[in-house]
Amino acid sequence: MIRLIEKGLMFGNLVHISSPALVERYNRALQHLAGKTTALTDFHVDISGYSPEVGIELDDPLYLNPNGVNRQFILLTTEQKRAPLLNVKFSTSRDILREFIEMNEAQLFALTATDAVAGELVNSVFKLTTPRDLLNLRKIEIEADTVGGTLRKADQLAGMVERFKTEEYAWFDDVLIANMIETAKETGDVTRNPVRLRHTVFEQRNFWTAHFGGMYLFPDLDHPAVICMGERPEDLPIKYVFDPSQRNQIAKFLNYNDLVEPIVKARGVDAAAILQQKMDFLTVDAAADAGIDLTGLDRSDMRRLARNHADRLPEAYHGLAQLLRWATDGGPWPRITSDHPAYFYSLRAANTPNRDLVNMLLAELAPLDPRQMFICHKELFYRTYGGWPEPKKAYVAEFLAREYQVDKAGARAALFGHEPDMSGEDRVSEAVIARVGPWGAVRKE
């Protein structure tokens, strides 16, 4: 993993904590949440305040995420909203945290000026015992306050102010007035500057979880289903439960809910370039397994590798090659049904609210495309990377650093964006695709 860290592909965009004041606040918050402290004086944190260095020191990668369910967080600065979330257990957690910070940025900025804000993403389940429990995770509520209890005290002061205004003899209550004065010293004037956090309840509809071997839950669709990457449970209260071996059923599910589109149908993208790059990754995988040096490969080298090792190339490569010939040279239209190994490589998520989740699923169904895996499913990428041959590790790390890191937004837009094509011309006839295309022809059971 050192190579990934050096190239900024792992632990990138974390917030550096080095000032004694922030370290002291972090320790107070950590003691408050987990009963622990760190002896480190210099470390990095993600959007939730989790630090990989502190995790190593405490020998606990879940020190802010007990049982992997109710994620705790420590906010030292609102700049944490730009950081990634490490050790992800639920695909929705980072989006919820970022939206919470952005919706309350002014208040959090004021609160973190003098103290750390500590909190938790709370749901009705504290520990997952069976996959059935996952379907109960429909609402996430954020509970947060400074370690010193500024928000709690502000609520108390507001209550005292209301009593002072409404109770008949409150003007003569010396104890009430003294308490108001003392509390106001810590909270400020809550009548002019109310200290409240808003938008703290979030719906968790369709999501991925790392629990139980990895599961994609889509209960909030017209045709709901659960896709299990580990062992498939039999007692989920949902009609359709699939595992990766059920390619045709998964394809039907994606099709029925209009969740995917073929790459060659997408407007505003260079479909040929995307297909060619996917083929290159498949070539690299085969060459790495053969122990071939992959240093400094150019386009001609890649063609040579493909020719020399054609017998080693997976069937997915040949399916993508047929698509590429059709897209660039007007070759015969390939009929690729959902049981073909190239099928999921040829798709991307449609422009729906579930786009990121579907792209995440596709990255897992097309595991030989490391670029999509890195962009859409980093947890899977890091886990998979460790098992690759050394030549493939070096090639992929160099490619991502060269082609992706320099223009992340552009790369994402090119691969997964849904901007309108301003040329006014369709790259591919939608009628043709609907009639004979490989994506309109999910294999019948």
Q: pLDDT at residue 435 above 60? A: no
> If we measure between CA atoms, which residue out of 94, 135, 140 comes closest to residue 356?
94
Structure tokens of 137? 């995770």
Could you tell me if 214 and 227 are in contact, meaning their C-beta atoms sit under 8 angstroms apart?
A: no
> If we measure between CA atoms, which residue out of 385, 347, 259 comes closest to residue 5?
385
> If we measure between CA atoms, which residue out of 361, 144, 389 comes closest to residue 260?
361
Region 157-165: mean pLDDT is 68
Q: pLDDT at residue 72 above 50? A: yes
Other residues' Cβ atoms within 10 Å of the Cβ of residue 278: 24
Structure tokens of 133? 């429990």
> In 3-state terms, the chain is what percent helix, strand and coil (to 5)?
50, 10, 40
Confidence of residue 167 (pLDDT cuts 50, 70, 90): confident
Could you tell me if 190 and 150 are in contact, meaning their C-beta atoms sit under 8 angstroms apart?
A: no
3-state secondary structure of 241: strand
Exposure letters 98-137 (e unless 16+ CB within 10 A, then b)? bebbeebeebbeebbeebbbbbbbbbeeeebeebebbeeb
Q: pLDDT at residue 193 above 80? A: no
CA distance 280 to 270: 16
Query: What's the pLDDT tens digit per position in 11-43?
Result: 888 999 999 999 999 999 999 999 999 999 999
Give the CA dihedral 284, 289, 294, 297, nearest 10 degrees: -30
Mean pLDDT for all residues in the chain: 84
